Amino acid sequence: MSQVLLKDFLAQQQNSQLTESLAQVILSIATTCQAIDLALQKGALAGILGSAGNENVQGETQKKLDVISNDMLIDALQQHPAVAALASEELEQMTPAQASGEYLVLFDPLDGSSNIDINMCVGTIFSILKNDGELKTENFFQKGRDQVAAGYVLYGPSTMLVLTTGQGVQMFTLDPESKQFVLTNDQVQIPVETQEFAINASNQRHWEAPVQRYIGELQAGSTGVRGKDFNMRWVACMVGDVHRILTRGGIFLYPYDLKDPSKAGRLRLMYEANPMSFIVEQAGGASSTGRMDIMDVEPTDLHQRIPVILGSKAEVELVTSYHQA
């Protein structure tokens, strides 16, 4: 059977939303991620592991590869004729690109970068919005449902691109010989039944009562109300945790907690929660803050934080019902 390359797939699927210019933006991101992948593979050989010696706008210590991957994406997208502006988790302000561009691109250049030095999986997350009107930061403040495309690249044992343009979810695997992303699953669906959950259990003492209740029921396993055993998995990389859910089901939680009550959540709405929610919903799953659908949240800041619960639909709905009880 002949292979379907990313560029061919995008050409075949074009419609009023997936235009030629949007396809070209996606291809530019994919090509840049291949360069990031190569840098990751070189690792210590290229002297790019470890801290960059400074903090990003989030107050987090940057890794050298955070900076390198961020610069790669900015360089590629700022020159793209279809990109009006871009915003990165690593930069405080949006970055103007081409004034006549049709699209706005947001990205987390290297999700899970704390995993770099121990040679575990990391990823790149991106979200694409239509550019409507005068170029200003507020143009980015669109609900998750307004996204025209979203995806991530997982840098793991094999490098994979997972993409949605609102027509389901597709997975592409990078062929190391041809250097092309090849379609390997064009009908991604999250399994309905699940026995896996992902949560940072070190924060358990800070969780709100609804999450304490839900996780307690999972931990009780076959002796509790759920009547079956669950396994906990935690990669410390949202891309890795979401990829597992897409391939074998489950639920991911980074809920609001009382560790720092002044913060609405840990993850960023625009760079992480919205694109991942778009992907998960298109694969038959659901996402929630615990109180409302993530993609219905009105953004008010480029770096807005939010609680995130996503994955198998029935599990997300159950956790949400506990918050509303």
Binding residues: 89, 108, 110-114, 200, 272
Residue 220 burial (CB count, 10 A)? 14
Residue type, 107: F
Tokens found for residue 35: 């360069």
Place of tokens 């396994």: 231
Question: Residue 207 has what DSSP assignment?
Answer: B
Tokens found for residue 149: 């495309």
Place of tokens 């929630």: 288
Q: Which residues, other chains included, contact 82 with Cβ-Cβ below 8 Å and sequence gap of 6+?
A: 21, 22, 24, 25, 98, 101, 102, 103
Half-sphere CA count of 116, side-chain side, radius 13 A: 30
Question: What Å distances lie between residue 105 and 26, 37, 85, 94, 307, CA to CA?
Answer: 10, 20, 7, 10, 22
10 close to 27: Cβ distance less than 8 angstroms? yes
Dihedral (Cα; 40, 7, 184, 31), 10-degree rounding: 0
Q: Is 179 left (phi over 0), alpha (psi -120 to 50) or beta?
A: left
- Binding residues for substrate, by number, are 111-114, 200
Distance separating alpha carbons of residues 306 and 130, to the nearest angstrom: 23
Distance separating alpha carbons of residues 282 and 186, to the nearest angstrom: 12
Task: List the helix and strand counts (H, then E) for the chain.
Answer: 7, 17
Distance separating alpha carbons of residues 144 and 258, to the nearest angstrom: 26
- Binding residues for Mg(2+), by number, are 89, 108, 110-111, 272
